[in-house]
Amino acid sequence: MTGDPVADRWDTELMEDPGPVEILQRLIRFDTVNPPGNEGEAIAYLKGLLEPAGWSCKVLAELPDRPNLVARLEGVEPGPNLALISHVDTVPAEPSEWERDPWSGDLAEGYVWGRGALDMKDQVAAEAAACLKLGASGWRPAKGDLILVVAADEETGAHHGAQWLCREHPDEVRCEWVVNEGAGEMVEFRGRRLFTLSVGEKGTFRFTLRASGTAGHGSMPAVGDNALLKLAPALGALDRQPPRESTADTDRFLQVLLGEVPDDLDGALVEIEAEDPVLAQLVADPMLGVTLAPTMASGSSRENVIPSEAGIVVDCRTLPGMDADGALERIRGVIGEGDWEVVFNDPVVGTRSDYGGPLAEAIEGWAAERDAGILPLVMPGFSDSHWFRSAFGATVFGFCPQQAMDLAETRPLIHGPNERVAVADVELMCDLFGWLPPRLMGTAGQG
pLDDT for 223 beyond 60: yes
As a whole number of Å, the CA-based R_g of the chain is 24
Per residue in 410-442, pLDDT (tens digit) is 999 999 999 999 999 999 999 999 999 999 999
**Alpha helices (H) along 51-82:** none
Confidence of residue 3 (pLDDT cuts 50, 70, 90): very low
Residue 72 has pLDDT above 90, yes or no: yes
Give yes or no for residue 447 having a pLDDT over 50: no
For residues 447 and 442, give the distance between their C-alpha atoms in angstroms, rounded to a whole number. Answer: 8
Mean pLDDT of the chain: 95
Does 197 fall in a domain?
A: no
Residues 329 and 360 in one domain: no
**Phi and psi, residue 139, nearest 5°:** -65, 140
Res. 322 pLDDT band, cuts 50 70 90: very high
State the pairing for strand pair 192-201/373-379.
Answer: parallel
Domain assignment present for 394: yes
Among 328, 344, 360, the domain boundary falls at: 344
Within a domain: 198: no
Tell me if 339 sits within 8 A of 231, measured CB to CB. Answer: no
446 — pLDDT class (breaks 50, 70, 90) = low
Q: Is 322 in the same domain as 432?
A: no
State whether 180 and 38 are in the same domain.
yes
d(CA 23, CA 41) in angstroms, rounded, equals: 13
Select from 344, 359, 388 the last residue of a domain: 344
Residue 412: CATH number of its domain: 3.40.630.10
**Domain count along the chain:** 2
Distance, CA of 177 to CA of 410 (rounded, Å): 27
Residue 139: inside a domain, yes or no? yes
Instruction: Confirm whether 446 is domain-assigned.
Output: no
Question: Taking Cα atoms as reference points, which of 162, 58, 85 lies closest to residue 433?
Answer: 85
Domain that holds residue 283: 203-344
Q: Give the pLDDT mean for 47-71.
A: 97
pLDDT at 5: 37
88 and 123 part of one domain:
yes
Same domain flag for 103 and 138: yes
Helix pair 40-50, 20-28: axis angle to 10 deg: 160
Residue 285 and residue 220 in one domain: yes
Same domain (yes/no): 185, 208: no
Is residue 157 located within the same domain as residue 33?
yes
Length of the chain: 447
Tell me: do 12 and 153 sit in the same domain: yes
Same domain, 11 and 127: yes
CA atoms within 13 A on the CB side of 149: 35
With a cut of 60, say whether residue 1 has pLDDT above it.
no
Q: Are residues 101 and 135 in the same domain?
A: yes
Does 131 lie in the same domain as 221? no
| Pairing mode, strands 146-151 and 82-87 | parallel
Other Cβ atoms less than 10 A from the Cβ of 338: the count is: 15
In a domain, 378, yes or no: yes
Which pTM does this prediction carry?
A: 0.92
16 pLDDT band, cuts 50/70/90, is low
* pLDDT at position 11 over 60: no
Domain boundary among the residues 287, 312, 344 is at: 344
Q: Does residue 270 form part of some domain?
A: yes
Res 435: pLDDT: 98
In a domain, 194, yes or no: no
pLDDT tens profile 148-162: 999 999 999 999 999
- How far CA 325 is from CA of 228, 345, 351, 380, 382, in Å, comes to 26, 14, 16, 20, 20
Rounded (to 5) percent helix, strand, coil in the chain: 40, 25, 40
Which CATH number fits the domain that encloses residue 220? 3.30.70.360
**Exposure pattern of 143-167 as b/e (b: 16+ CB <10 Å)?**
ebbbbbbbbbbbbeebebbbbbbbe
| pLDDT reported for residue 14 | 38
| Higher per-residue confidence, 303 vs 9 | 303
Question: pLDDT digit string (tens) for 349-401?
Answer: 999 999 999 999 999 999 999 999 999 999 999 999 999 999 999 999 999 99
Q: Is the pLDDT of residue 28 over 90?
A: yes
Q: Mean pLDDT throughout 107-128?
A: 98
